[in-house]
Amino acid sequence: MDMIASGSDTIEEPLAMAIGTFDGIHLGHQQLIKILKDKALSYKCASAIYTFDKHPLNVLCPDKAPALLMNNKQKLSVLRQYGIDYIILNEFNKAFADIPADKFVNNILFGLYHVKSVIVGFDFTFGYKGQGDAQLLKDEGQKRGIDVVIVPPVKVNGVTVSSSLIRRLVNDGCVEEAARYLGRPFALLGEVHAGHKMGHKLGFPTANLTPDPGVVVPRSGVYATEAVISGMDGTWKAVTNIGTRPTFNDTHISIETHILDYDGQLYGQELEIRFISRLRDEMLFSNPERLARQIREDIDMARQVLRNFDRTPSDPKKYIVN
């Protein structure tokens, strides 16, 4: 079972450790995790992931900080699925950002932890103003007899997998393409709150989701989705609308999900929405009746899409088009 630790906790046993932001835990991150587990097995030691509670740009340059692909709860939940022994969630603050590269290596990485192997991505940087890079870490590791692995970029159809690429795809509503690089559907996690009940009046009650404000939200439109309800097994087919509901002269962006064949109260519960396919743009209808007719068509289309969706998240190759 994994142990969640803070960045200041000392772990006595030998470790193989992968370091990074791990936003989205995409195919590139999954390659790091695979090598991490192989190294832990080879060195007969525990596995650890050293990551951060926020994106570094939130501290270094807040105006340029990206919306994230997942909140910390989602990140920890996905990392747990890989059977990592320790997940170290370090607070990234100004004091940490100001640590010189050599002190990060000597006082933290090789000081707090008994590392046998360290695994980082090709673009990994660390220390004050990013003065340290993967090659510097490898050189320092060689001086101490520590195995440092620099993982080259993972590519899909010649395109390097990265969190920034996936953020752009999600922001543009290209959720199917984003899934190819994530190795699973993009998902939003949040609490269900009371809405205007317009969907209920039309005969299609919706769960209104409030995700974390720092997480990227797909482009406005209607999506075939899957819903995972907290405390319940399995997934539910669903249709999700993201937008301002122009038919009702609303201006506030809302995320409304109609869960197919479900009849229950969800207010206050946690809900995960997995985006499978974008069905259409948000549209203005002349009256609620025409909107209701379109919703019925959306539901039929979503059923067809979800019926053909092969749910095998452990096999990311199904998302890769050669």
Write the pLDDT tens digit of every residue in 296-314. Answer: 999 999 999 999 886 554 4
Distance from the Cα of residue 101 to its chain's centroid: 28
pLDDT band for position 55 (50/70/90)?
confident
Q: Which of 287, 238, 297 is nearest to 262 (CA)?
A: 238
Asked whether the beta carbons of 235 and 209 are under 8 A apart, the reply is: no
The pTM (predicted TM-score) of the whole model is 0.88
Radius of gyration of the chain (CA): 22
Length of the chain: 322
Q: In whole numbers, what is the pLDDT of the chain averaged over residues? A: 87
pLDDT band for position 148 (50/70/90)?
very high
pLDDT band for position 284 (50/70/90)?
confident
Question: Interhelix angle for 163-171 vs 175-182, to 10°?
Answer: 160
Options 2.40.10.10, 3.40.1360.10, 3.10.20.30, 2.40.30.30; CATH for 185-310 is: 2.40.30.30
Beta strand pairing status for 125-126 and 132-133? Answer: antiparallel
Looking at this protein, which amino acid is placed at residue 247?
Answer: T
Residue 6 bridge partners (DSSP): 89
Is residue 73 pLDDT above 90, yes or no? Answer: yes
Yes or no: domain 3-159 corresponds to CATH 3.40.190.150 = no
Digit-coded pLDDT (tens) for 158-216: 999 999 999 999 999 999 999 999 999 999 999 998 766 555 556 688 899 988 889 99
Instruction: Provide CB contacts within 8 A for 83, sequence distance 6+.
Output: 2, 37, 47
Domain ranges of the chain: 3-159, 185-310
